[in-house]
């Protein structure tokens, strides 16, 4: 859930291409405002966002690669940050359990600020600091996931990176917050379930008007990422026939949808006001579009996917999302128009992504034809390749794509385990292993 607040746009930036380190004093704030470059988490130069890199890991080879690309003419680099939601389950049955308070009590004190409760008491959320380096994102997610796994074990449960609960069981209560109480009162039977767990990728942008244009440019490509992240094929102990059952459950909410084609930031704000007035949303935090402007940070927030099973998967998606946003910025600067995809065809593409996942077919929104999803993913990678290289991410993304092709999507991995053993508890154990990393 995104908390309320107003982002700060457009700060003066340091020399682009110079990695700026800030003190490690904001472990509790995935997107801290204080004591970073330009007095905010993102600063701008020539319309791009540059983040203060946290000193959380040693520099990787991608630094040199990025600096070579910067020297060759690239100037604008973009910060990226990741939020992940997880499910807490009984290790013996796989059923969701209301254990968030027990687990929070076991999280090391120095990490508690980066871990928080979510909507239901069976869920827990982490957030990485924003950074330029994928290595810092990898390190942060790895540390936080391992800490959560240890805390969960001490509390007698397991933490799973899974879109929704794989087996049936008592519905865990909602976290005790007045806002959540209002949601229950208004939406009633939409609320129950074991927990709906996604991954949200934030990419820094210079201002909200540019952000709205970015939303228009990225929307035709998001069904491909939707397919990549599918990680919830089971519900109530059975194969649902969908690669992402979470998507089916999530789309019951009236404000869940692809973002519309937007004329301006004023149009975006007007739609929010109208949706709140209609009653389908309590507030801006309930704008559950697959891509939106963050209500709290100066970022575009891509929130299409199931939470990824492993750190490798999460890093891959974060890199692709950042490159997609950066490519959109390049197109905007060059005056290239966004593809105006028919809304119904876009909805169909997302349904197909949730149903087939990575291993099936998807809708190519450039012509409306069905194609193998891997072919569509290769098309996406080709489109964003220059920005992957400019950020120093190309080699790592190439390696991670190779691993994804070998091992399959999260949904495929779960199905493979169940096909071998026929035991849902083995699926849970395998997911717990992947979650820890």
Report the alpha-carbon angle 304-309-312, nearest 5.
Answer: 95
Burial 78-91 (b: 16+ CB within 10 A, else e): bbbbbbbbbbbbbe
What's the CATH code, domain 21-436? 3.30.590.20
Cβ pair 353, 227 in contact under 8 A: yes
Strands 234-235 and 238-239: antiparallel
Q: Cα–Cα distance between 101 and 117 in angstroms, integer?
A: 8
Q: Cα–Cα distance between 63 and 48 in angstroms, integer?
A: 18
Q: Cα–Cα distance between 131 and 117 in angstroms, integer?
A: 24
Q: What is the pLDDT of residue 20?
A: 26
pLDDT, averaged in runs of 10, over the chain (437 residues) = 36 27 31 28 33 30 42 67 98 96 98 96 97 97 98 98 96 95 93 91 97 99 99 98 98 96 98 98 97 96 97 99 98 97 97 99 97 99 98 98 98 99 97 95
Please, where are the H alpha helices in 34-170? 62-71, 100-106, 134-154
Q: Cα–Cα distance between 426 and 100 in angstroms, integer?
A: 23
Cβ pair 162, 231 in contact under 8 A: yes
The strand pairing partners of 239, in sequence order, are 234
Q: 342 burial class (0-12, 13-18, 19+ CB within 10 angstroms)?
A: exposed
Please, where are the H alpha helices in 336-372? 343-356
Q: Cα–Cα distance between 134 and 319 in angstroms, integer?
A: 7
Show the tokens assigned to 222.
Answer: 């998001």
Q: Cα–Cα distance between 131 and 21 in angstroms, integer?
A: 10
What is the reported pTM?
Answer: 0.86
Strands, E, within 282-382: which ranges? 291-293, 299-306, 361-364, 369-372
The closest of 133, 105, 140 to 27, measured between CA atoms, is 140
Burial 260-293 (b: 16+ CB within 10 A, else e): ebbeebeebeeebeebbeeebbbebebbbbbbbb
- Residue written as tokens 């004023």? 266
For 78, 93, 106, 205, the CA distances from 333, given in Å and listed in that order, are 15, 53, 48, 13
Q: What is the pLDDT of residue 74?
A: 43
For 64, 128, 129, 168, 188, the CA distances from 113, given in Å and listed in that order, are 32, 11, 11, 32, 31
Q: Cα–Cα distance between 317 and 320 in angstroms, integer?
A: 5
Local structure of residue 120 (DSSP, 8 states): B
The closest of 174, 169, 77 to 118, measured between CA atoms, is 174
- Residue written as tokens 């409306």? 368
For 49, 166, 222, 385, the CA distances from 209, given in Å and listed in that order, are 14, 41, 20, 25
| Sign of the dihedral defined by the CA atoms of residues 372, 381, 202, 165, in that order | positive
Domain map (residue ranges) of the chain: 21-436
Q: What is the pLDDT of residue 190?
A: 85
């Amino acid at each position: 859930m995104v908390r309320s607040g107003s982002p700060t746009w457009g700060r003066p930036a340091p020399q682009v291409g110079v990695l700026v380190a800030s003190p490690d004093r904001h472990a509790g704030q995935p997107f801290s405002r204080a004591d970073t470059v330009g007095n905010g988490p993102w600063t701008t130069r020539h319309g791009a966002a540059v983040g203060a890199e946290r000193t959380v890991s040693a520099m990787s080879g991608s630094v040199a690669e990025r600096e070579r690309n910067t020297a060759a003419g690239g100037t604008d680099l973009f910060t990226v940050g990741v939020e992940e939601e997880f499910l807490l389950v009984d290790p013996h049955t796989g059923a969701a359990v209301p254990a968030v308070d027990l687990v929070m009590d076991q999280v090391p004190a120095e990490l508690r600020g980066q871990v928080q409760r979510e909507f239901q008491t069976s869920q827990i959320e982490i957030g990485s600091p924003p950074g330029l380096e994928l290595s810092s994102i990898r390190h942060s997610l790895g540390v936080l996931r391992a800490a959560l796994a240890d805390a969960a074990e001490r509390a007698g449960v397991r933490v799973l990176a899974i879109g929704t609960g794989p087996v049936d069981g008592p519905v865990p209560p909602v976290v005790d917050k007045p806002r959540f109480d209002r949601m229950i009162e208004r939406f009633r039977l939409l609320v129950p379930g074991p927990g709906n767990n996604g991954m949200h990728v934030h990419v820094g942008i210079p201002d909200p008007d540019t952000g709205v244009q970015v939303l228009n440019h990225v929307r035709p490509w998001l069904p491909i990422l939707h397919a990549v992240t599918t990680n919830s094929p089971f519900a109530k102990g059975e194969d649902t026939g969908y690669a992402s059952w979470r998507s089916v459950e999530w789309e019951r909410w009236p404000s869940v949808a692809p973002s519309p084609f937007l004329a301006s930031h004023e149009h975006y704000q007007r739609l929010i006001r109208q949706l709140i007035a209609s009653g389908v949303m309590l507030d801006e935090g309930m704008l559950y579009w697959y891509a939106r402007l963050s209500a709290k940070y100066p970022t575009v927030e891509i929130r299409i996917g199931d939470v990824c099973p492993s750190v490798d998967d999460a890093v891959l998606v974060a890199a692709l999302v950042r490159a997609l946003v950066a490519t959109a910025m390049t197109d905007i600067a060059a005056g290239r128009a966004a593809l105006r995809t028919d809304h119904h065809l876009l909805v169909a593409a997302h349904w197909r992504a949730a149903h087939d996942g990575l291993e099936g077919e998807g809708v190519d929104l450039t012509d409306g034809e069905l194609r193998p999803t891997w072919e569509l993913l290769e098309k996406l990678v080709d489109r964003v390749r220059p920005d992957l290289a400019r950020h120093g991410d190309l080699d790592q993304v190439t390696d991670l794509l190779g691993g994804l092709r070998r091992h399959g999507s999260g949904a495929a991995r779960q199905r493979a385990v169940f096909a071998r053993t026929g035991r849902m508890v083995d699926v849970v154990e395998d997911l717990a292993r992947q979650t820890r990393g």
